[in-house]
Structure 1
Amino acid sequence: MDDMFFQDWMGLLRVMLVGTLAYAALVAALRVSGKRTLAQLNAFDLVVTVAFGSTLATIILSEKVALAEGLLALVLLIGLQWIVTFSSVRSRRIARLVRAEPTLLLRNGEFCEDAMRRERVTPEEVRAVLRRAGLGGPEAARAVILEGDGSFSVTSTDAPPTERSVAGFEDLGQGPRKD
């Protein structure tokens, strides 16, 4: 029963020392790898971030994992993340594998029901997004887009023409598209 609450002072010292060094190494490695490593999270980035956390916890708490092995694991994860993001910027095919494409959910005040069903978004959720954007309802929106990172973008019908365009989607003046 005593082992559950306290084993020995060396274990506590190891956690303090290894935890501090591993944390500092992770922060330094992420800083060197660039802002893109932990940019706004999409599903792929979330998996990598969880892997970072799990690896850091294992380094700190498992006496079976030496600091050098743990740091190598962190550097490996960062290197793999860098390779994938580097490749996805240069290859549309790789980008499509690791990044979700934006989806048009509302066009000129009308819901794109097939797209909403595919993305598992309800009309009530879109209305909540419109309220947060300060719009009274669907008729006040030119477009609502579910972005690849899970956030929503809203363009109102009264936006100036330069702000009305929605990159990646055809002309919004044609009414809802049958997805």
Structure 2
Amino acid sequence: MWFDAWGDLGRVVLVGSAAYAALVVVLRTTGKRTLVKLNAFDLVVTVALGSTLATILLSSDVSWAEGVTALVLLAVLQLVVSWVTTHTGRGRSVVTAHPTTLVRDGVVDHVALRGQRLTETELRQAVRASGTGGLDQVARVVLETDGTLSVITQQQLGDGSALEPGDR
């Protein structure tokens, strides 16, 4: 339970170092988008890369070559999905959610809140965390595609060009 053999530790060190180096090469080759968390799909890929690396490190049933193949496959699939989502509107709607406005001009949209399975307490917490003391100071609270809540105060609203077209 505490120690099996020196060979097992040596395998973790050698294969782990090689797998880590391979992951760095894969990430540098595929670009920043591979690890960015713009939506739930991106988060799943990031977690899957970490899980795959852990499996390579700890499972003697998985060879280094199989593990690196899995890492490359995940990165390539992420590239394909990101290409499809940036070049086709239909692909984007399948993979990514749309931002949802939860507060407009200080008024909470309870239907949207329920639809996103959030409570008013969580919404108010996000407003407070932004440094805003009252909903009357809030122009919009938007649930972003990555699950974060963006709080835009009346002072920060500007021309509203960063908002969705139907939300201005």
TM-score by length of 2: 0.92
Deviations 1:57-113 (A, max 9, x none): 221122222111111111111111111111111111111111121000001110111
3-state SS of 2:152 partner: strand
Aligned pair 1:168/2:167, yes or no? no
- Is the contact between residue 38 and residue 146 of structure 2 (CA under 8 Å) also seen in structure 1? yes
> Hey, what's the Cα distance between the residues in 1 that align with 2:140 and 2:3?
58
Query: Of 56, 66, 69, which residue of structure 2 is paired with 1:69?
Result: 66
> 1:170 offset after TM fit, Å?
2.6
> 1:165 offset after TM fit, Å?
4.1
List alignment gaps of at least 5 residues for structure 2.
Answer: none
Query: Of 117, 141, 144, which residue of structure 1 is paired with 2:114?
Result: 117
- Is the contact between residue 45 and residue 78 of structure 2 (CA under 8 Å) also seen in structure 1? yes
3-state SS of 1:105 partner: strand
Query: Of 110, 122, 127, which residue of structure 1 is paired with 2:124?
Result: 127
Aligned pair 1:140/2:128, yes or no? no
Identical amino acids, percent of aligned pairs: 48
- Residue 151 of structure 1 corresponds to 148
Q: Which moved more, 1:125-134 or 1:20-29?
A: 125-134
> Hey, what's the Cα distance between the residues in 1 that align with 2:158 and 2:70?
50
- Is the contact between residue 101 and residue 167 of structure 2 (CA under 8 Å) also seen in structure 1? no
- Is the contact between residue 37 and residue 146 of structure 2 (CA under 8 Å) also seen in structure 1? yes
TM-score by length of 1: 0.87
> Hey, what's the Cα distance between the residues in 1 that align with 2:68 and 2:136?
54
**Aligned residue runs from structure 1 range 1-179, under 5 A:** 4-159=1-156, 161-162=158-159, 164-170=160-166, 172=168
List alignment gaps of at least 5 residues for structure 1.
Answer: 173-179
Deviations 1:140-162 (A, max 9, x none): 11111010001111221233633
List structure 1 segments (4+ residues) > 6 angstroms apart after TM superposition.
Answer: none
Report how many residues are paired. Answer: 168
- Is the contact between residue 40 and residue 146 of structure 2 (CA under 8 Å) also seen in structure 1? yes
- Is the contact between residue 139 and residue 157 of structure 2 (CA under 8 Å) also seen in structure 1? no
